[in-house]
Amino acid sequence: MKVVLYIILGIAIIVVGFFVWFFVFFLQVPELNIPKNSSEKEKIVLIDNWLEKLNSQRKFNGGILITKNGKPTLAKTYGFTNSKKTEKLNINSSFRLASISKQFTASGIMLLKEKEQINYDDLVSKYISNFPYHNVTIRNLLNQTSGIPDSYLDLAEKAKGKIGVLTNEKAIKLIIENKPKANFEPNEQYEYSNTNYIALARIIELVSNQSFENFMANNIFIPLGMNDTRVWNLISEDKTFKGKTDGFEDLAGEIREIKPTFIDGVAGDGGVFSSLDDFVIWDKFWYQNKLISNENLKEAFKRPTLNNGEKSNYGFGWVIIKDDVVMHNGAWLAANTYFVRNTKKKTSFVLLDNSSNLFFEKIIGSIR
C-alpha cells in the first residue's frame, strides 16, 4: 500500500513540477532592463540582445524596426519564415500585416480622391448598387462610424458550401442579400468593423476596374518602390511569392503550420504583406510623397466628429492616440503586427511576428 502511495505521490510531484516549469519558463517573458541613463545606441543593443534571447526560448519569431528621422536605428529579424524552419527571416521577408492593411486600403481610397474619382462624403450606394445602408458615406467606412455590423464572416460560414473561396465581391453580395441590421445610425458612434474596409476595397475595384491587388501594386507599391509589399490571398494568381512568410504555431515545442481557409480571398481589411525594409518607405509616405497631397494626407489623422459633437479616435486606417502619435495593430493566421508613429519626434516602431506569439503584447509593452 505504501509503495502505491509513494508512486502516486511521485507522479503528483512530477505533474506539479511540470506545470511550475511550464509557468515559470514558457509563460513568462524575461524582463527588458534598460537603465534610465542609457544612450540610444545602448538601448538598441539591449533590445536586440533581449529579442535574441526570446527567440532562443521560442518566444519571438519575427522582426523589429525602429526609425528616427526616416532612418533605421534597429532593423533586424529573428527566426524563420515558416514552420519547417528551412529559411531564415531577413529585412526583406514579407509578413502578413493583418489589420495594419487597413491604412494601405485607406491610401488607395485617398489616391482615388486625389484623382477626383471619388469624394469622401459620397454615399457608398453611389458605387455599390443596392447597398442596404443608404446613408453611409465613404468617410463613415474609413472612420469606422458606419454602424454596419461585422457580420460577413458569419454570413460566409452559413453559405460556405455555395460560395467557394470568399472574395470582396462575394462578401458584399452576402451583405446586400442578407441586409444585417445596422448597429446604429451613421456617425452616431465608433465601432470597429472589418466589413467597412472590405467595402472600401470593393469601391476601389469598381472605380478603378482593377482587382484590389493590381490597383494597389500599380498605383501605390510600385511607384513608391515598395518591392516587398503586395496584396496576397487565395485568389492571387501567384500561389506564393519570393520572401513570403507563412504563419505557424509553436506551443511548447509542437510546431504546426497555420493555413488560410476559404474566407481568405477577401482583402482590404487585411491581405497586405510587407517587410521591415518597406516599412521605412511607408513611414516616410505619411509625411510627404508624390502621390497624395499634404492636405489630403492630413485627413487620415483627423479625429472624426460624431453626431453628438464628441471626437472619435479612428482616422483613415489609423488609431489616433494623441495628435502626434498614431498606431495600428493586427492579428490573423498566426500573424501579430504592430506599428506606431510619433510625428513630433519623427520616430516609428514596427514589430512583426508569424508564430502565433502569446507574448506579443508583453514584448510591445516592454520595448515601448
Has 146 been annotated as catalytic? no
Q: How many CB atoms lie within 10 A of CB 160?
A: 13
At residue 45, φ and ψ (nearest 5 deg) are -60, -45
DSSP secondary structure string, 147-162? ---S-HHHHHHHTHHH
How far is Cα 75 from Cα 58, in angstroms, rounded to an integer?
20
Q: What residue type is assigned to position 58 of the chain?
A: R
3-state SS class at 1: coil
Q: How many CB atoms lie within 10 A of CB 253?
A: 7
- Which of 228, 236, 216, 239 lies closest to 93 in space, CA to CA? 228
In contact, 106 and 99? CB cutoff 8 Å: no
Widest CA span in the chain: 87
Q: Give the DSSP H/E element, type plus range, for residue 243.
A: none
Question: What length does the chain have?
Answer: 368
Query: Of 83, 94, 99, 107, which one is the catalytic site residue?
Result: 99
Give the three cell numbers for residue 253: 515545442
Active site residues: 99
